[in-house]
Structure 1
Amino acid sequence: MSLVIKKLTKQYNQHKSGLTDYSITIEKGVLGLLGPNGAGKSTLMKIIATISKPTKGTLFLDGEDIVANPDKIRKILGYLPQDFGVYPNLNAYEFLEYIAAMKGVGGSGLRKRIDLLLEGVNLTADAKRPIGTYSGGMKQRIGIAQALLNDPKVLIFDEPTVGLDPEERVRFRQLISDLADDCIIILSSHIVSDIETIADEVAIMKNGILLNKAAQPDIIKLVDGKVFEVLVSNDEIAGIRTKHQVIDTSRQKDKTRIRFITRTGQPEMGAIAVNASLEDAYLFLTQNNN
């Protein structure tokens, strides 16, 4: 299964565009979308989910034009939007049964599937409470469950870990990992570590443009040999910022440890080369492409 997107553009008005000539091929596995606010991640996901139409460009799922024939993807789609809403007076069982009916999912095995999904998102104990009494993280988990109801082959998650505590983030990653061999999974997040631990490939976006898409090791190679750390006095920090791209700082008594990407190719005196990370590569790409 593959999703081929060519020269996708979404123009909202004369002055504002969501995507510009966006081309990407997505295969089975997990594709992580990374980008700052306004990068176009949600716009791309809404178009793939056939909620929004592109201004121009094509999307083909296994050779079928899903702009012209959206039912081709809708039947096998699971989608969790960023602004997912619930019915507060329904409990988890009632809500999932309602969503199942909307998706045309039924049969004798439905209740068992709902039980398994609620167990998977750790909501079994709270399944009979009205959803309106749930915390933000619990509502996010019921949103994840509804996306999986129809045993989808294309899964789209827009900021799925928002509101989840660290334990639930790990549970979500395990759930996605179990599905990845048989599905196309597109996952956006502003939390780089979530993408780092789950994605087979990463697409980095900015201002509606695809900056790079590759396997994580290939993205990280872009900053290999450019990332350093140095311990300096506080009055030296400004000078380093003028010469290098500072990634992180941490105070240590009267000194500050600075992690930076060298712009000059020459590190500071006393700087130590460190292993590059996906976050380093992400910041390098997004802050150096204006």
Structure 2
Amino acid sequence: MPHEPDLHITAIDSHAHVFSRGLAMAQERRYAPDYDAPLAEYLGQLLAHGFSHGVLVQPSFLGTDNSYLLAALQAAPGQLRGVVMVEPNVQRETLDAMARLGVRGVRLNLMGQALPDFSTGAWRQLFQRIGEQGWHLELHRQVADIPALVRALQPYGLDLVIDHFGRPDARQGLGQPGFAELLTLGGLGNVWVKVSGIYRLEGSPQQNLAFARQALGALEAHFGAERLMWGSDWPHTQHEAGVSFASVVGQFDALGCAAPLRQALLVDTAQRLFGFD
């Protein structure tokens, strides 16, 4: 294993992906890339924009074959953490091996899928094993369904992370179905939100940024800054032509966060949740 560098934390990108177009793709997928997003390029983006650490999230089009992500973690130990996708019947030994490489969560990407029945035995076993690892469960789904998903998962006592503001539609404003209820989840104490993917909020760039400002203020009021974190969503799949690491950093700066909130979004929250030293 490569030598683990002693990196001072300057900023943490809590959501990014690495992959190669030559990898085996999942049979059921909404998208397949026609380009590569290698680790070396991602690390270069971090360095160029003042970030010291990052979190790699398994892209849905690779399914549950996490080998590329795990190799990346092994190549940059200490600098990266991982969030994987697994089958409900994954073995405890597999999770143990992933944990040693820096995996700290499991992602459920439910975009475009039927909502699962979390009361079945296979799901209960998976959630028990996630809990044994001390990992969190990351949810990617439109905001209208997020509150019901979180309620269904509460009996398992897991930490939960919601992707990309909860995937609301900026054109519908804060009053859209699910968003007000999403805000109430801040009172549960075990839910975090990734302030990422502003360009995925369905509106024009101006609408998306205006909504993100309002949504961030509401999220801070209900969750507290200590359960919010920022992610680049590099390499911005399906939006590659018009979005870059530099442009999402610019969007973040345009939110106009006060210094304490900025510190939480870029360092403190992810440092605690993902166990960066």
TM norm structure 2? 0.39
Q: Which has the higher strand share?
A: 1
Q: Which has the higher contact order (CA 8 A, sep 6+)?
A: 1
